[in-house]
């Protein structure tokens, strides 16, 4: 007899609550426990996205998986942060972890998955990623049939970014934040600035599309992206 709870990693999409999947909605409403990431002193984006769907009688677990730490330090913090989730599972309660976008695509759920999926039955539900939502919100067809697409975190060194941008047909640059100026300068240097489109908080009520050279580098949020769509025309 297996009386352990089941772990669900559920993608809730890029921001618009209507971009939730039917499966995500069913699972998150049925679970006795929901868990979500939240930065210290900030509301959880994932919980905001689904708030209108919550039945109101669920246990809620917050966790905080800080980014950009040394690997060894991160591991011990993550080990600790997943413990409350593990305790609910051990007590037989299913836990739905709400994940912005898609759980396995640059998602913090993966740190929970690698720690708990050996011990507890686990199901992951893919979601609409910002990688798909940003080109759609910008109105630019992204990749055609034989295009190469490269997804680049803005945190990478300049030389790495340049060599990849020169070798690809289409690109998405994520995690802009304080790296925005570096990226903008590279795009001008490579002659890509006119093709590059900037968007922040895509599909939410705070969505903003700003011409690249008018973006304030001091105010670029984490949830922003530069999309370089294909050159092909058909």
Backbone angles phi, psi at 121, to 5 degrees: -60, 130
* 34: three-class secondary structure by DSSP: strand
Based on CB atoms, which residue is closest to a second copy, 25 or 61?
A: 25
Q: Residue numbers of the site for a second copy (CB under 8 A)?
A: 11, 13-14, 16-23, 25-26, 67-68, 71, 74-75, 78, 102-106, 110-111, 113-114, 117, 124-129, 131-133, 135-136, 139-153, 155-156, 160, 163-164, 167-168, 175, 203, 233-234
Based on CB atoms, which residue is closest to a second copy, 5 or 9?
A: 9
Provide the β-strand partners of residue 34.
60, 96
Q: How far is the CB of 187 from a second copy (least distance, A)?
A: 17
Based on CB atoms, which residue is closest to a second copy, 20 or 96?
A: 20
Instruction: Return the DSSP state at 100.
Output: S
Based on CB atoms, which residue is closest to a second copy, 44 or 108?
A: 108
Q: Give me the residue label for tokens 């969505």.
A: 207
Q: How many residues does the chain have?
A: 234
Based on CB atoms, which residue is closest to a second copy, 19 or 215?
A: 19
Backbone angles phi, psi at 208, to 5 degrees: -135, 135
Closest CA to 128 of 5, 1, 234, 23: 23
Close Cβ partners of 104 (under 8 Å, ≥ 6 residues apart) = 9, 110, 113, 124, 126
Tokens of 118: 């050996």
Q: How far is the CB of 52 from a second copy (least distance, A)?
A: 11
Q: How far is the CB of 94 from a second copy (least distance, A)?
A: 17
Q: How far is the CB of 149 from a second copy (least distance, A)?
A: 4
Burial track 5-26 (b if 16+ CB lie within 10 A, e otherwise): bbbbbbbbbbbbbebbbeebee
Based on CB atoms, which residue is closest to a second copy, 76 or 213?
A: 76
Tokens of 65: 């998986």
Q: How far is the CB of 26 from a second copy (least distance, A)?
A: 7
Q: How far is the CB of 6 from a second copy (least distance, A)?
A: 15
């Amino acid at each position: 007899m297996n009386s352990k709870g089941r772990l669900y990693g559920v993608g809730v999409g890029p921001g618009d609550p209507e971009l939730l999947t039917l499966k995500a909605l069913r699972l998150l409403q049925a679970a006795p426990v929901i868990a979500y990431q939240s930065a210290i002193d900030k509301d959880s984006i994932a919980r905001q996205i689904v708030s209108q769907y919550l039945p109101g009688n669920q246990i809620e677990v917050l966790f905080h998986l800080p980014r950009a730490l040394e690997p060894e330090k991160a591991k011990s913090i993550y080990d600790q942060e997943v413990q409350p989730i593990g305790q609910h599972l051990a007590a037989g309660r299913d836990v739905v972890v709400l994940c912005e976008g898609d759980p396995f695509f640059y998602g913090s759920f993966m740190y929970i998955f690698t720690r708990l999926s050996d011990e507890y039955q686990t199901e992951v539900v893919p979601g609409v990623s910002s990688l798909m939502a940003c080109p759609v919100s910008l109105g630019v067809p992204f990749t055609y049939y034989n295009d190469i697409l490269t997804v680049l975190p803005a945190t990478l060194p300049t030389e790495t970014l340049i060599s990849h941008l020169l070798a690809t047909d289409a690109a998405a640059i994520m995690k802009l934040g304080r790296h925005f100026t570096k990226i903008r300068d590279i795009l001008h240097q490579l002659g890509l600035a006119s093709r590059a489109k900037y968007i922040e908080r895509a599909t939410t009520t705070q969505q903003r599309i700003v011409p690249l050279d008018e973006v304030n580098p001091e105010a670029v949020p984490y949830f922003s992206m530069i999309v370089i769509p294909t050159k092909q025309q058909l």
